[in-house]
Amino acid sequence: MDVQYMLEILPQFLSVIPITLLIVVLAAVFGFLLSIPVAAARIRRIPALSQLLGAYISFTRSTPILLQLFLFFFGLPVLLQLIGFDIRNIGPITAATVCLIFFNGAYMSEVLRPAYLAIDKGQHEAAESLGYTPFQKMKRVIIPQMGPIALPGLGNAIIHLIHDSSLVFAIGVVDLMGMATIMSGDTFGMKQVEVFLTVALIYWGISMISEQIIRRLERRKKRMLRRTGYEMKKKEAGYSV
C-alpha cells in the first residue's frame, strides 16, 4: 500500500469534489421540492394524476439508476426533439443532475407521504377547532410533527444520493469516480487499490458530514415538536401563546 502516492493524488480528487457536491446539492434540493407536490397529490388521491405519479415512482424505484442515467442522457434529447425541443447538446452534468432530481423526488415523496399519514387525525381536528387556517395548521402543527418522522428517511435518501452520484462518470462526468477511472487508466491499473481507496475515504467523509447535519436537524425538530405540543395544550386550555 503506497500511502505516499495516495497523498500525492489527493489534490486532484479535491479539485473535482465541487462537481460532485454541485450535483448532490442540486439533486437534493430540487428533488425535495419535487417530492412535496408528488406526495400531496398521492395523499389527496387526485384521479388520474395519482395513478400517473404512482407509475413514475414505481418506474424510478424498480429500474437501476445507471439505466436511468443512460435514458436521460441519450433518450431525453430524442424524446424532446419529437415535440419540437432541440437539446441535442445537453451536457452530461445537466443530464445527470436532472436524472437524480427525478429519482430523488420519487424517493423522498415516499418518505414524506407516510410521515404525513402518521400524524393522528386528532391533531388536524384540534388545529381546526382552534381556528387555524390550512397554512397555519401545516406550519404550526403538521410540519413540526412530520419533521422527526421524515428526517431519518430523508437523511438516508441523501446518503443514497451521494452514493448514486458516483455513477454519473458513466455518461462522461469527471467527478470523483470519473477522476478515479482516469487515474487508474493512466497508471495501467498498477495503483488501483490506492486510487479507489482514496476515493472511498473521500466519500466516507462526505457521508459522515451529511449524517451529522441530519442528526442535528433531528434534535432541533424534536425540540420544536415538544414546544409545539406544549403550545397546543395551552391553546386548548384557553391560554394565549
Domain ranges of the chain: 3-236
**What average pLDDT does this structure show over 70-87?**
80
Q: Please give the C-alpha separations between residue 101 and each of 15, 59, 70, 143, 148, in angstroms, as whole numbers.
A: 24, 14, 15, 23, 23
Query: Residue 129: its pLDDT value, please?
Result: 83
Name which of 27, 42, 164 is nearest 111 in CA terms: 42
For residues 98 and 141, which has the higher predicted lDDT (pLDDT)? 98
Q: What is the pLDDT of residues 12-24, one digit of tens each?
A: 999 999 999 999 9
Q: Which of 104-108, 222-226, 228-232 has the lowest mean pLDDT?
A: 228-232
Measured CA to CA, the distance from residue 227 to residue 225 in angstroms comes to 5
CB atoms within 10 A of CB 146: 21
Q: What is the pLDDT of residues 111-154, one digit of tens each?
A: 999 999 888 888 888 888 888 888 888 888 888 888 888 888 99
The DSSP-derived string for 92-127 is HHHHHHHHHHHHHHHHHHHHHHHHHHTS-HHHHHHH
**Could you give the angle at the alpha carbon of 18 between the alpha carbons of 71 and 198, nearest 5°?**
90
Q: Which of 22-26, 183-187, 230-234 has the lowest mean pLDDT?
A: 230-234
**What average pLDDT does this structure show over 171-197?**
85
Beta carbons of 135 and 55 less than 8 angstroms apart: no
| Statement: residue 33 has pLDDT above 90 | yes
- Superfamily in which the 3-236 domain is placed by CATH: MetI-like (1.10.3720.10)
The type of residue at 231 is E
Burial 13-22 (b: 16+ CB within 10 A, else e): beebeebbee
Name which of 46, 20, 47, 5 is nearest 195 in CA terms: 5
**What average pLDDT does this structure show over 150-165?**
91
Sign of CA dihedral 60, 61, 65, 67: negative
**What average pLDDT does this structure show over 55-83?**
88
Measured CA to CA, the distance from residue 144 to residue 120 in angstroms comes to 13
Query: Residue 235: its pLDDT value, please?
Result: 52
Query: Residue 240: its pLDDT value, please?
Result: 41
Name which of 37, 218, 39 is nearest 144 in CA terms: 218
| Statement: residue 178 has pLDDT above 50 | yes
How many CA atoms does the CB half-sphere of 130 hold within 13 Å?
23
